[in-house]
Structure 1
Amino acid sequence: MAKVTFIGAGSLGFARRLIIDVLNCPAMRDTHFCLMDVDPKRLDYTRRIGERIIREQKMPAKVTATTDRREALRDADFVVIMLLAHGVEPIEAEYRIPLKHGIDQCVGDTLGPGGVFRFLRTAPMILDVCRDVMDVAKPNCWVLNYTNPMSMLTWAAYRGCPGIKFVGLCHSVQGTTEMLAKAIDVPYEDVRYWVGGINHQAWVLQFRHKDGTDLYPRLKEALPKSPRNKPGIADGEMVRIMMMQHLGYFVTESSGHNSEYNPWFRKRSDLIEKYTGPDFAGESGFIARAYGKDREGWEKGLEDQVNQADPIDFVRSHEYGSGIINAIWTDAPFRIYGNVRNDGLITSLPEGCCVEVPCLVDGHGVNPCFVGELPPQCAALNRMNVSEHELAVAAFFEHSRERLYQSLYYDPLTAAKLSLPEIRAMADEMIAVETQHGWLPPLR
């Protein structure tokens, strides 16, 4: 029986999905799911729904729940991190204050003011988990992180806990490639792709039919013409289509996300209106509003999920987590895209940074694949982001206010809008608010 510990298990939707995914693997049907969250009420919802899934599927798995992180990690074989540091309140501040200074964010969880401050308040918790894993979990325990900002947190985990078995996971590669296959009416199972770069900004370097035919010419022909007959593809993907037309390659993650990671799409209101749309297509403050929905309605939704009359849909998702767990446990090979330390994997990006590359998973763990050089125009944009990652990680480990300023000086969107003194003033206001609430670690 494998022990799989969820840290941040109060994230009911995600925890429920992963429980279902793992139990869909025949070898994992006796898994012990140990759920941990600091919020007992949310934790209880997840425990109840986990027990219901097991009961409905008549499986020998079990669910336990605790608010004690160290106890949850004791003797764990796998740890899945899905935590939200300090709840939803900081997210609103990390949208509102930059907006006041002219920085308009859609999501703000990966880069820019929102991403950097989210990293600084989340990294202490991630490192606490990693240290406990190395202390009390099984020697071969793997940590699977789903918490953003992925690149900065993964970099911090490797730097702060040398030897940790840690991989950052996202669904943007499989989600993007599936969307592209749909755009040109090719069955997804007939597509072969090769992707490399950084999280939320990895490049679809090859996109081929299984017979070897290059499908990129069809993509470049079809995508700009598809808003009318392919709603949900080009309607919400103007940013990524424009990037493909000018840079030659399609990039992973939504247009709303990607509109924040460069200097081109959010620096003027007319550009925002032209290139972005509702929700993840680039709507201003979308995530802040999504997290800010009324708690009473949210709790009713959880109660409804736990008590719904119909059986819970037992269908496996495309998230990589269950496949990794099954592959390591059974030594059955499985291919993923993971966020790992760049030990010569992408030669045109700095050594030691976090990169997203193909990985083969088996009983030996997560084994990253060599990608080599990226197209220079793609590497150039990645390096802009990696410079920000590097300085933010340095700010955390050095407790340095100056490094924090410097990370934002090199943020593409922030630098396109603000002068150096203006960036510093925005950061000072964010530091003051987040320090007052106890969200940030000390900065000197």
Structure 2
Amino acid sequence: MSFKIAIIGAGSVGFTKKLFTDILCVPEFKDIEFALTDVSEHNLQMIKAILDRIVEANKLPTKVTATTDRREALDGARYVISCVRVGGLEAYADDIRIPLKYGIDQCVGDTICAGGILYGQRNIPVILDFCKDIREVAETNVKFLNYANPMAMNTWAAIEYGKVDTVGLCHGVQHGAEQIAEVLGAKSTQELDYVCSGINHQTWFIDLRLNGRPIGKDELVAAFEAHPVYSRQEKLRIDVLKRFGVYSTESNGHLSEYLPWYRKRPDEITRWIDMSDWIHGETGGYLRYSTETRNWFETEYPQFLEAASKPIDQEKRSNEHASHILEALETNRVYRGHFNVKNNGVITNLPQDAIVESPGFVDRFGINMAAGITLPEACAATCIASINVQRMSVHAAIAGDIDLLKLAVLHDPLVGAVSTPEEVWQMVDEMVVAQAAWLPQYAHAVPAARERLSTSAVKTREWAGAARRSVRSIEELRAEKAALAQAG
């Protein structure tokens, strides 16, 4: 087989390498072309060198090109994969820093909440630019695979306004299933059957079976509470399981910021999180992790390049959906997964225009979703609160409507639990002014926002958050890695 895959945001070096090696685990795909594109020439050349080394080491005919000209990369592509982070870590730092001034403590801030909504405002204009180019220069029946957050907003914009055949992909379901299999004593997730449905980062295991035997709430709660690690790291997630009756796919830290109950007071935050790793609820945890990862990669690049000389291990193909979807579409080897698509009857008690994450299978005919799923009422209510925020956020981003943007932020569950309307209005003004370089649709609103900020009487505070850790130096990371190696 010979076709072209374009990867936008290919400068996300580690993730691009994973997608690349996964796809090359499919024997029929050795003759394809990967066209890499990114706004960073520096990152682009680093990842191209790594992928070229992999091709050379495995004696493959695979073609790898790299260009900052997006249209050139998209020209003739059958598949387009996006893993962009618009504004990079600079804008992301403001997504965390500015809401903290108003008492809003986020662990990740990339899906909803104040940070996730502004992240969507930066991404959506760029997503629509991608879609325009895809429609004009890619293959006629091109498929757009979006990995970029905020998943639901980006996918919503691409389908509804970009008019491109789009599916959103995430690995939260797979990670949740791995945890459940472990606490139940299964040898692998192959022993676990499940239906997981909802919206991205708020998906729920509504039917669980271990070797065909149904697993109920009480058994699952007991298994998690008995686990020596998860009982400590997933306290909030276990509490939601007890109250809702079903387990959420999302990590302790992520889940905490989608709900109005666990992060609204500093003393409550420290009660429900765990500081052993960023993902369990640390303030700005993912920002710290991303910063350390970038610094580590830049410093240790020669080692990463050397590691690329090893043969591809077919047994280490990851559970990321992309390679499996492409394999099913091209070879008709059927793949079952959980995908982000427009609802249209997939989930009966969520809005039909929403982007839902739910089970489906892929073959030559495309992605075929299981329809008619009904969520437990509490799960549906929680999802609907987020969907309403997502819808307003998408509409605000398309129209450049700062008033609608403020209403979207006001209706966010955690923001509403912490901040007053006056605080929300000023916070959004401050975020729009700080991120104006990545918000072209709000250029007309920035002068007035800046003027309001100069006369505002709303008080703020400089606050690091309830559970903030400092970014570790390269020397500290090296020492920690050496200690782990010695202990292991």
TM-score normalised to structure 2 length: 0.87
Moved more, 357-366 or 301-310: 301-310
Distance 1:258 1:440, change over 3 A: farther
Q: In the alignment, what sits opposite 1:319? A: 320
Q: Deviations over 1:205-246 (max 9, x none)?
A: 0110232333544212111232xx3x2x23221111110000
Superposition deviation, residue 296 in structure 1? 5.7
Question: 1:438, 1:358 → 2: CA distance?
Answer: 35
Q: Secondary structure at the match of 2:221?
A: helix
Asked if structure 1 preserves the Cα contact closer than 8 Å seen for 2:196 and 2:204, the reply is: yes
**Residue number in structure 2 paired with 1:239:** 236
Residues 60 and 295 from structure 1, CA distance in 2 versus in 1: closer, same or farther, beyond 3 angstroms? closer
C-alpha distance in 1 between matches for 2:26 and 2:225 = 40
1:130 is aligned to 131
Match of 2:31 in 1: 30
1:169 matched to which residue of 2? 169
One-letter amino acid of the counterpart of residue 51, structure 1: D
Alignment partner, residue 203 of structure 2: 202
- Output the CA distance in 1 between the equivalents of 2:114 and 2:40: 27
Structure 2 vs 1, CA of residues 440 and 244 (structure 1 numbering), >3 Å: closer, same or farther? farther
C-alpha deviation, 1:59, in angstroms: 2.0
Task: Tell me how far apart the structure 2 counterparts of residues 213 and 122 of structure 1 sit (CA, whole Å).
Answer: 41
Aligned partners of 2:129 and 2:281: how far apart in 1?
A: 34
Cα distance in 2, alignment partners of residues 36 and 340 from structure 1: 25
Which residue does 2:353 correspond to in 1?
A: 352
- Alpha-carbon spacing, 1:43–1:393, altered in 2? closer, same or farther (3 Å): same
- 2:3 aligns with 2
**How far apart in 1 are the matches of 2:106 and 2:361?**
35
Q: Offset of 1:170 from its aligned partner? A: 0.2
Name the TM-score, length of structure 1 as normaliser.
0.95
For the residue of structure 1 that corresponds to 2:167, the secondary structure is strand
Whole-angstrom distance in 2 between the partners of 1:297 and 1:439:
30
Comparing 7-16 with 206-215, greater Cα deviation is found at 206-215
Q: Quote the offset at 1:166 in angstroms.
A: 0.4
The structure where helix makes up a greater share of residues is 2
Aligned-residue offset at 1:441: 2.6
Counterpart CA distance in 2 for 1:425 and 1:56 is 55
Pick which of 59-68 and 292-301 moved more: 292-301
2:245 paired residue number: 248
Which residue type is aligned with residue 119 of structure 1? G
- Which residue of structure 2 lines up, in the alignment, with residue 283 of structure 1? 282
Structure 1 residues 239 and 312, CA, compared in 2 at 3 Å: closer, same or farther? farther
Kept in 2, the 8 Å contact 1:357–1:371? The answer is: no
Find the residue that maps to 1:307 and give its secondary structure.
Answer: helix
Q: 111-120 or 121-130, which moves further after superposition?
A: 121-130
Change in 2 beyond 3 A, CA 1:384/1:295: closer
CA distance in 2, matches of 1:200, 1:190: 24
- Confirm or deny that 1:301 pairs with 2:333: no
CA RMSD of aligned residues (A): 1.6
Partner Cα distance (1:103, 1:360) in 2: 39
Partners of 2:299 and 2:364 in 1: CA distance? 42
Q: How does 1:290-439 map to 2 (within 5 A)?
A: 290-293=289-292, 297-308=296-307, 311=310, 314=313, 315-435=316-436, 437-439=437-439
How far does residue 375 in structure 1 lie from its aligned partner after superposition?
0.8
SS for the counterpart of 1:426 is helix
Contact kept? 2:125, 2:398, Cα under 8 Å: no
The code of the aligned residue for 1:168 comes to G
CA 1:153–1:185: 2 relative to 1, 3 Å: same
Decide which of 242, 255, 262 is 1:265's aligned counterpart.
Answer: 262
Taking the aligned partners of 2:110 and 2:51, their CA distance within structure 1 comes to 28
SS in 2 for 1:70: helix
User: Could you say if the C-alpha distance between residues 44 and 121 of structure 1 is closer, same or farther in structure 2, counting changes exceeding 3 Å?
Assistant: same
Contact 1:208/1:216 (CA < 8 Å) preserved in 2? no
Residue 156 (structure 1) aligns with: 157
Question: What SS does the corresponding residue of 1:234 show, helix, strand or coil?
Answer: helix
The one-letter amino acid paired with 2:391 is E
Aligned amino acid, residue 362 of structure 1: D
**1:10 CA displacement:** 0.7
User: Quick one: percent identity of the two aligned structures?
Assistant: 37
Q: Please name the residue that 1:70 is paired with.
A: 71
Report Cα offsets for 1:314-339 as digits up to 9, x if no partner. Answer: 32111011001111111221111110
Map 1:102-121 → 2, pairs under 5 A: 102-121=103-122
CA separation of 1:330 and 1:42: change in aligned 2, threshold 3 A: same
CA contact (8 A) 2:204 2:246 kept: yes
Question: Runs of 4 or more off by more than 6 Å in structure 1?
Answer: none
| Matches for 1:76-91 after TM superposition, within 5 Å | 76-91=77-92
Q: 1:297 offset after TM fit, Å?
A: 4.3
For 2:426 and 2:311, how far apart are their aligned partners in 1? 50
Aligned to 1:39: 40
Deviations 1:92-138, CA, capped at 9 Å, x for gaps: 11100000110000000001110000000011111111121111111
Structure 2 counterpart of 1:305, which letter?
F
Amino acid at match of 2:255: N
Figure out how many residues of one structure are paired with residues of the other and give that number. Answer: 438
1:181 maps to: 181
- 1: distance between equivalents of 2:222 and 2:295? 47
Distance in 2 of aligned mates of 1:313 and 1:363: 27
CA 1:387–1:62: 2 relative to 1, 3 Å: same
Aligned-partner Cα distance in 2 for 1:46–1:371: 43
CA distance in 1, matches of 2:291, 2:349: 40
Task: State the one-letter code of the partner of 1:241.
Answer: I
Range that drifts further, 263-272 or 217-226: 217-226
1:276 CA displacement: 0.6
Change (3 A) 1:159 1:309: closer
